[in-house]
Structure 1
Amino acid sequence: MKQLLKHVVLLGFLLAFLFSNQVLAQTIEPPVEKVVRNTSNIQSEYGSGFGFNVAMNNFGFNVGGEYRKVVGPSTELMTSIRIGGLRDASEQTFTDYLFGQQIIPNKYQRAFAFPLLIGLRHRLFTDMIQENYRFFVSASMGPALAFSFPYFDDTNDNGYREQFSNFYEPVNDIFTGWSEGDWHMGGTGEIKLALDIGGNFSRLNSVEFGYFFYYFPDGLQLMMPNQPIPLPNPGPGQFPYETYPPGHPMEGDLILEPSFEDQTFFGSPQITFTFGWLW
């Protein structure tokens, strides 16, 4: 009997040992396999692209077209041409309730600009972010043309829009005054962070944030170069500006002094949306 009891106890220890090893084997996790990320190579997905873009900045809206050419595994050469408004960032628009016309105080000229940009785009985070979202940084520069034309009918050619003195000089509409306009040659450039969206490499969908600028060495006179000299203490019903006295060759005309200078540099944050095709 004692001998049988010894065999039973020995068998119990053996079973307990085997069971504990089995449990231990089940709780040990297997080694983690290394995940191989896809390295970006846009050169293997497409070679060229074309798109239409709309840009918004402090000067208004710009519209144009853009062509891209892949020149490396993560690099593109790009060129774009646009047309858009050009204005002073301080401009504010008000409504003339007497005539129902929109007025921009102190504005002297309207202007349109035609920038031509050539630059490079380079993809970032190629081993971290997969193909559905492709981040790029880009820089480009090039020549720019601007066309400026009068904002109002400056009858006496004194650089100020008179309304209540010897003259009334109405504001031109957007299609008036072009025959008196001038062309200006300058330069342009931009720096952008871009995001191309989508894993379909036949469609171009891109949004870009950056800084855009113009430089015109000869300057553009968009705001009034002259302003009338105000009277120090005008009386009730008295005209509030100084005029030339009786007997003067310019009797009754406003006495003006220099005001806004011409502007050579125009800069603004900008957001751009591009839609097109890749092939």
Structure 2
Amino acid sequence: MSTDFQQAREALGLRLRELRLSAPGGRLTGTRLAQRLGWSHSKIYKLENGRQTATSEDLRAWAGGVGRPDVFDELNARLKAFESRIRSWRRQLAAGHRPVQDTWNLEVGRSRAIHAWEESVVPGLLQTADYARHIFLRYADLQGSARDTDAAVRARMRRQEWLYQPGRKFHVLVWEAALYALICPPSVLAGQLDRLAGVIGLDAVELGVVPLTAPLKVPAANGFWILDDRLVITEDWHAELWLDDADCVTTYLRVWNTLRDSAVYGSDAQSVIAAARGKMRPP
């Protein structure tokens, strides 16, 4: 994922360098362009070498600084193209977690069937408010983002209404490790496990648990969500990746089906959850 992001950023940087070297008024040095724009020379270097992601404002200034304001639309289109697929957490969380949750709510609302795999946390559609609150707080600390925790939790809880709308189906796989991950206090995790056990049997939910002792045909790597057959959303530490080409969707669905072969369902899944719940202090 980071390779795709870095390649796109480097390609944009090469185009910026080309524009600087072929400026209508004559070749510009990095130092001269930096002076024109009131930037540090290091910013010029970082943008051209794919070490920093440009903003739209940066690109507009660059186009004007090299005497080519007409190329701004082209540069901005390049930026938006890879930003629509690789959504930097730094930018997404600039206004907090609530806007990210609102975007997710729109996409989930458009979907009839969702396939999800989570290896380290309980999926958002099945989280309790207390569990979700601790998740948001941990990520706000990590990313240094605005703390709009209560608003983000309310937005995530609203998304769960999807589970009670006719004609929807949530096919979810959770690795057993997620049932023990103390991203929250034990009492909160105990309540979350009670909630998870309670959704087994809901018409809209097909919950499978992959036991730690189950043989795996593929590694239990990053979590991902497949919305209908049109979109995959997965994430890494630097960004959230949105993939909408057919080949990617097919690949992720194949991975999901492969992981499903290792899962247990129904009473067997209940037993795995109950074993984890038994190790938690009472809420």
> What is the TM-score normalised by the length of structure 1?
0.20
Name the structure where helix makes up a greater proportion of residues.
2
Which is higher, the Rg of structure 1 or of structure 2? Answer: 1
What TM-score do the two structures reach when normalised by structure 2? Answer: 0.20
Larger strand proportion of the pair: 1
